[in-house]
Amino acid sequence: QSALTQPRSVSGSPGQSVTISCTGTSSDVGGYNYVSWYQQHPGKAPKLMIYDVTKRPSGVPDRFSGSKSGNTASLTISGLQAEDEADYYCCSYAGSYTWVFGGGTKVTVL
Amino acid sequence: QLQLQESGPGLVKPSETLSLTCTVSGGSISTSGYYWDWIRQPPGKGLEWIGSIYYGRGTYYNPSLKSRESISVDTSKKQFSLKLSSVTAADTAVYYCAGARVGNYYKDVWGKGTTVTVSS
């Protein structure tokens, strides 16, 4: 079970859009529509931002959106805001009640 | 609303067994219909799923950990626990407990995390 591949960092100016990719295999990302995304601020626990590839929990701003194509899932933050600066992790179901996370992406707001 | 709180020793010696507990409040640990997970994060690194338990149904583990881990539930104390044997410095991490409602494939409740350092 290998970690999903995410870029180490992405950055953008306030108001711009950034997209984070999450690449796995046909045994995880490509095999199930069960990709979730978590936001983590320093010293804090992860917070669910997207689940089931595209769904947003109540309270998550609609500038956060998710998608998937083949073995790669993506998280897009539109209208970047200062409070969006954090680490973001993707997570995919990998079958047999197991899960795999990505290595994390640091989003910097310039 | 479910809340989770991790507890356990912050320092463990190499080769010993790490033992952590997660206390569940705001709901039942056995009938709430949740998978209970352990997830860890080494310093400066990403999240790693360790394993999960569904009370009365089974336990599921990350094959990468080579069977060193064990997860159990104590319903009388409303706790679930993680034991990780033969620890090394590589097991130094913040350990989170989390929960996922049965039928959902995401972790919708998290503890705040507890730091465990493996050192002599």
- Residue A39, number of CB atoms within 10 A of its CB: 22
Q: How far apart are CA B71 and CA B89, in angstroms?
A: 21
- Please report, as a single letter, which amino acid is at residue A74: S
What confidence tier does A34 reach under pLDDT thresholds 50, 70, 90?
very high
Q: How far apart are CA B116 and CA B58, in angstroms?
A: 26
pLDDT in the model for residue B65: 82
B92 and B13 Cβ atoms separated by less than 8 Å: no
For residue B51, pLDDT beyond 90:
yes
Mean pLDDT of the residues in chain A: 97
What confidence tier does A110 reach under pLDDT thresholds 50, 70, 90?
very high
A10 and A20 Cβ atoms separated by less than 8 Å: yes
Percent of chain A residues topping a pLDDT of 90: 97
For residue B113, pLDDT beyond 80:
yes
pLDDT in the model for residue B55: 82
Alpha-carbon distance A100 to nearest alpha carbon in chain B (angstroms): 6
Question: Is residue B43 within 8 angstroms of chain A, CB to CB?
Answer: no
pLDDT in the model for residue B23: 97
CA distances from B103 to A33, A46, A64, A66, B108 (A): 13, 21, 23, 20, 12
What confidence tier does B30 reach under pLDDT thresholds 50, 70, 90?
confident
Question: Is residue B42 within 8 angstroms of chain A, CB to CB?
Answer: no
Alpha-carbon distance A50 to nearest alpha carbon in chain B (angstroms): 9
pLDDT in the model for residue A1: 75
B110 and B3 Cβ atoms separated by less than 8 Å: no
Q: Would you give the end-to-end CA distance of chain B in angstroms?
A: 40
Q: How far apart are CA A88 and CA A50, in angstroms?
A: 11
Alpha-carbon distance A64 to nearest alpha carbon in chain B (angstroms): 17
pLDDT in tens, B36-47: 999 999 999 999
Query: Cα angle at B21 between B25 and B43, to 5 degrees?
Result: 110
Size of interface A-B (CB pairs under 8 A): 67
pLDDT in the model for residue B67: 84
pLDDT in tens, A75-105: 999 999 999 999 999 999 999 999 999 999 9
pLDDT in the model for residue A28: 96
Q: Which residues touch A53 (CB under 8 Å, ≥6 apart)?
A: A33, A34, A35, A66, A67, A68, A73
Question: Is residue A30 within 8 angstroms of chain B, CB to CB?
Answer: no
Of A48, A57, A101, the CB nearest to B47: A101
* Mutation target vs B (from A41, A99, A100; most B CBs, 10 A cutoff): A99
